[in-house]
């Protein structure tokens, strides 16, 4: 695949009015989501739930691409059609999560490094054959006493950059996701400082590993107050701080930034993105979404594992997709 094709895919993923659905929950994570609606995480339930999302009429107007999990990329719907075909038919680009999860980082109690580099070249080739055009890898950083440590920051940046280089070699756009968790009682200043440090470290590693930034997307957290902080920064402050941080740390060559929702409420995830896109002045990159929970919480609840609720689930998903699509151009109105 040429560089031009990589850049075209990256740009298509952040087309005006569109963003990404992260439906790449690993088996333990989807089990947690299904527990919340009291249904079993069986292969059939996972298949039917994801089929419902991918076949929502008009979703392709607002959703540019879908990040799948390994099982889903290989899975057939009840009608025998591969789910990945349904994604393509809906006008959405299929992607795949390729990391093997955050594992305890030796010598750093409470911190993790994301694993999955061994054998990745062969897995990427197979994913490309199965129809994936982009990929995702998530590094996790916890804020706490002396955390994140320099060891955690550099280990995750290194793994993210090695992954991104391999993805591009396979002709797949890498989405690099360094997630500074919102867990904790830290204030927004701390989140801003840590996020900037993590991003600087990531981009210096990406450059070292010869990752082509024009064919890469960044999936960061927003700069927000810790979940348990007594003072929660407002929407405008989050927008301003996040933009300041990104302007300081993210090169203009990157075509797009697609935020994770990270446990924010649906409403806030949309309002924050909208406020950033409403700020005066032009930005070097597109600002969009790659939400998991903020797109899926409502349809999951409306569906509740009952075939009879399919229409309700799809209506709830379409609403979340449309609202976030509007937020990518700053035209969302509550």
Residues engaged in binding ligand 13P (CB under 6 A): 22, 24, 138, 177, 260-262, 291-294
User: In terms of C-beta density within 10 A (0-12 exposed, 13-18 middle, 19 or more buried), how is residue 28 classed?
Assistant: exposed
Q: Shortest distance, CB of residue 264 to ligand 13P, whole angstroms?
A: 8
Q: Shortest distance, CB of residue 209 to ligand 13P, whole angstroms?
A: 21
Count the helix, strand and coil residues of the chain and give each as a percent rounded to the nearest 5.
Answer: 50, 15, 35
- Alpha-carbon span 180 to 200, nearest angstrom: 13
CB 305, CB 41: distance < 8 Å: no
- Alpha-carbon span 317 to 221, nearest angstrom: 22
Name the strand (E) or helix (H) holding 20.
strand 19-22
Name which of 145 and 303 has its Cβ closer to ligand 13P: 303
Q: Shortest distance, CB of residue 138 to ligand 13P, whole angstroms?
A: 4
Task: State which residue has the least CB distance to ligand 13P.
Answer: 292
Name which of 21 and 120 has its Cβ closer to ligand 13P: 21
Q: Of the residues 18, 25, 111, 177, which is catalytic?
A: 177
Q: Cα–Cα distances in Å, from 226 out to 181, 185, 191, 265, 274? A: 8, 5, 7, 14, 21
Closest to 258 (Cα-Cα) out of 10, 9, 56 = 10
Q: Shortest distance, CB of residue 175 to ligand 13P, whole angstroms?
A: 9
DSSP, residue by residue, 121-184: HHHHHHHHHTT--EEEEEEEE--BTTBS-HHHHHHHHHHHHHHHHHHHHTT-EEEEEEEE---S
CB 65, CB 132: distance < 8 Å: no
Q: Shortest distance, CB of residue 22 to ligand 13P, whole angstroms?
A: 3
- Alpha-carbon span 61 to 322, nearest angstrom: 8
CB 235, CB 275: distance < 8 Å: yes
Residue 185: half-sphere exposure toward Cβ, Cα within 13 Å: 2
Name which of 27 and 210 has its Cβ closer to ligand 13P: 27
Q: Shortest distance, CB of residue 293 to ligand 13P, whole angstroms?
A: 3
298: its two tokens? 């409502």
Told to judge if 214 belongs to the known catalytic residues of this protein, a careful annotator would answer: no
Q: Of the residues 18, 86, 97, 219, which is catalytic?
A: 219
Residue 334: half-sphere exposure toward Cβ, Cα within 13 Å: 9
Told to judge if 18 belongs to the known catalytic residues of this protein, a careful annotator would answer: no
Q: Shortest distance, CB of residue 50 to ligand 13P, whole angstroms?
A: 14
CB 68, CB 96: distance < 8 Å: yes
Name which of 207 and 216 has its Cβ closer to ligand 13P: 216
Name which of 31 and 89 has its Cβ closer to ligand 13P: 31
Name which of 66 and 155 has its Cβ closer to ligand 13P: 66
Name which of 256 and 262 has its Cβ closer to ligand 13P: 262
Q: Which residues are catalytic?
A: 177, 219
């Amino acid at each position: 695949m040429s560089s031009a094709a990589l850049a075209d895919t990256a740009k298509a993923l952040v087309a005006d009015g569109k963003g990404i659905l992260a439906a790449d929950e690993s088996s333990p994570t989807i089990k947690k989501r299904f527990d919340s609606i009291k249904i079993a995480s069986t292969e059939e339930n996972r298949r039917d739930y994801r089929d419902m999302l991918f076949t929502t009429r008009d979703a392709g107007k607002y959703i540019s691409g879908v990040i799948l999990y390994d099982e889903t990329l290989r899975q057939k719907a009840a009608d025998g059609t591969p789910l990945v075909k349904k994604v393509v038919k809906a006008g959405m680009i299929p992607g795949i999560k390729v990391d093997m999860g955050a594992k305890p980082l030796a010598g750093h109690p409470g911190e993790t490094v994301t694993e999955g580099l061994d054998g990745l070249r062969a897995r990427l080739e197979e994913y490309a054959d199965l129809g994936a055009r982009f990929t995702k890898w998530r590094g996790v950083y916890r804020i706490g006493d002396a955390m994140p440590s320099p060891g955690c920051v550099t280990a995750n940046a290194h793994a993210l950059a090695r992954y991104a280089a391999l993805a591009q070699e396979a002709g797949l756009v890498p989405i690099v996701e360094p997630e500074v968790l919102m867990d904790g009682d830290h204030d927004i200043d701390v989140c801003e400082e840590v996020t900037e440090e993590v991003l600087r470290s990531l981009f210096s590693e990406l450059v070292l590993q010869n990752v082509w930034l024009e064919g890469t997307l960044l999936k960061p957290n927003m700069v927000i107050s810790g979940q348990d902080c007594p003072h929660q920064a407002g929407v405008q402050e989050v927008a301003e701080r996040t933009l300041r941080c990104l302007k300081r740390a993210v090169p203009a060559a990157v075509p797009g930034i697609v935020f994770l929702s990270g446990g924010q409420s649906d409403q806030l995830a949309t309002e924050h993105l909208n406020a950033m896109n409403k700020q005066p002045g032009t930005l070097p990159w597109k600002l969009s979404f790659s939400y998991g929970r903020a797109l899926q919480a409502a349809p999951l609840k409306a569906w509740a594992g009952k075939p009879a609720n399919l229409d309700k689930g799809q209506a709830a998903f379409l609403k979340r997709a449309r609202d976030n699509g509007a937020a990518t151009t700053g035209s969302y109105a509550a």
